Amino acid sequence: MNKNVPPRLGGISVFRAVRIFVIAAIITSLFAYLSFDTHALYYFEEALYGYRLQVAGLAHPEYADQVRKQITVVEIDDGTYTWAFPASKRLDHIPSKKIAKLVTRLTAFGAKVIALDMYFDTPDTGDKELAASIKKSGRVLIGCRDYDHPVHGNVVEMPEDIFLKAKCDVGHSQVLGTADAPEYDRIEPVVKSGGAWIPSFSVEAVRMARGISGLPLPDSAEAPTIPGLPIVINRSKWERAFNIRYLYGLPTSTNPLPQPNDCFTPLSLQGIVDSPPDDFDAYRKAISNSIVLVGDTRGGSGDTHETPVFNKMPGVLIQANAIATVLDGHYIRAASIPVQLLLLIALLGVVSALAAVLPLRSVTLLLILILPSAFVVNVWLFVQQNYYVHLAGPSGAILLTTLCVLLERGLSEESEKSRMGKLLRRYVNPRFASHILNNPNLIGGRGKRAVGTMLFSDIRGFTRLSETLSPEDLVARMNEYFQTITEIVFRHDGAAASIVGDAMLAVFGIPVLADNHADQAVAAAIEIQAAGKALREKWSDGDPMDLASGIGINTGEVIVGEVGGRQLRNFTVYGLHVNIASRVEALTKEYQSNILITRSTYEALKQKVEVGPPISVRVKGVAEAIDIFEVIEP
The per-residue DSSP string of 599-628 comes to: HHHHHH-SS---B---EEE--TT-SS-EEE
What pLDDT does 51 receive?
87
CA distances from 629 to 226, 349, 457, 578, 625 (A): 102, 62, 16, 17, 13
Averaged pLDDT, 104-117 = 95
Q: Any idea which of 45-59, 177-191, 256-270, 563-577 has the lowest mean pLDDT? A: 563-577
Place 149 in a pLDDT band, splitting at 50, 70 and 90: low
Q: Any idea which of 147-156, 405-414, 571-580 has the lowest mean pLDDT? A: 147-156
**572, pLDDT greater than 50:** yes
Q: With beta carbons less than 8 A apart as the criterion, state whether 406 and 352 touch.
A: no
Averaged pLDDT, 146-156 = 66
Phi/psi at 8 (5° precision): -105, 150
Averaged pLDDT, 83-92 = 67
**431, pLDDT greater than 60:** no
d(CA 197, CA 207) in angstroms, rounded, equals 15
Place 471 in a pLDDT band, splitting at 50, 70 and 90: confident
Residue 418 CA to its chain's centroid (Å) = 30
What pLDDT does 179 receive?
56
How many of the other CB atoms lie within 10 Å of CB of 244?
28
What pLDDT does 514 receive?
86
**CA dihedral sign, ordered 431, 436, 438, 439:** positive
The per-residue DSSP string of 267-290 comes to: EEHHHHHT--GGGHHHHHHHHTTS
What pLDDT does 5 receive?
46
d(CA 46, CA 182) in angstroms, rounded, equals 9
Q: Look at 414 and 617; give whichever has higher pLDDT.
A: 617
Place 488 in a pLDDT band, splitting at 50, 70 and 90: very high
pLDDT digits (tens, 9 = 90+) for 341-350: 888 888 888 8
Q: Look at 226 and 236; give whichever has higher pLDDT.
A: 226
The CATH architecture one would assign to domain 430-630 is 2-Layer Sandwich (3.30)
What pLDDT does 545 receive?
53
The tally of CA atoms less than 13 A away on the side-chain side of residue 160 is 16
Which positions ≥6 away from 35 have C-beta within 8 Å? Answer: 41, 45, 340, 390, 392, 393
**251, pLDDT greater than 80:** no
Look up residue 357 and give its DSSP letter. H
The per-residue DSSP string of 191-244 comes to: EEETTEEEEBHHHHHHHHHTT-TTSPPPS-TT-SEETTEE--PEE-SS-EEEE-
Predicted model pTM: 0.66
CA distances from 471 to 160, 466, 474, 475 (A): 109, 8, 5, 6
What pLDDT does 141 receive?
96
d(CA 389, CA 332) in angstroms, rounded, equals 10
Beta bridge partners of 156: 146
**11, pLDDT greater than 90:** no
What pLDDT does 47 receive?
82
Averaged pLDDT, 55-68 = 82
The per-residue DSSP string of 223-236 comes to: -SEETTEE--PEE-
d(CA 126, CA 134) in angstroms, rounded, equals 12
The most distant pair of C-alpha atoms in the chain lies apart, rounded to whole Å, by 139
Q: Any idea which of 1-15, 282-296, 418-432 has the lowest mean pLDDT? A: 1-15
Place 407 in a pLDDT band, splitting at 50, 70 and 90: confident
For the chain, percent of residues with pLDDT exceeding 70: 82
What pLDDT does 2 receive?
42
Domain ranges of the chain: 8-38+334-420, 61-329, 430-630
Residue 319 CA to its chain's centroid (Å) = 37
**181, pLDDT greater than 60:** no
d(CA 388, CA 335) in angstroms, rounded, equals 6
d(CA 622, CA 580) in angstroms, rounded, equals 8
Place 604 in a pLDDT band, splitting at 50, 70 and 90: very high
Phi/psi at 164 (5° precision): -65, -40
Average pLDDT, the chain: 82
What pLDDT does 516 receive?
93
How many of the other CB atoms lie within 10 Å of CB of 217?
20
pLDDT digits (tens, 9 = 90+) for 586-603: 999 899 999 999 999 999
C-alpha closest to that of 35 among 403, 398, 397, 404: 397
d(CA 328, CA 334) in angstroms, rounded, equals 18
Amino acid at 351: V
Rounded (10°) angle between helices 61-68 and 42-59: 70
What pLDDT does 577 receive?
94
Q: State yes or no: cis peptide before 511, omega within 30 of 0.
A: yes
Residue 455 CA to its chain's centroid (Å) = 53
What pLDDT does 552 receive?
95
Instruction: Determine the number of helices (DSSP H) and then strands (DSSP E) in the chain.
Output: 20, 28
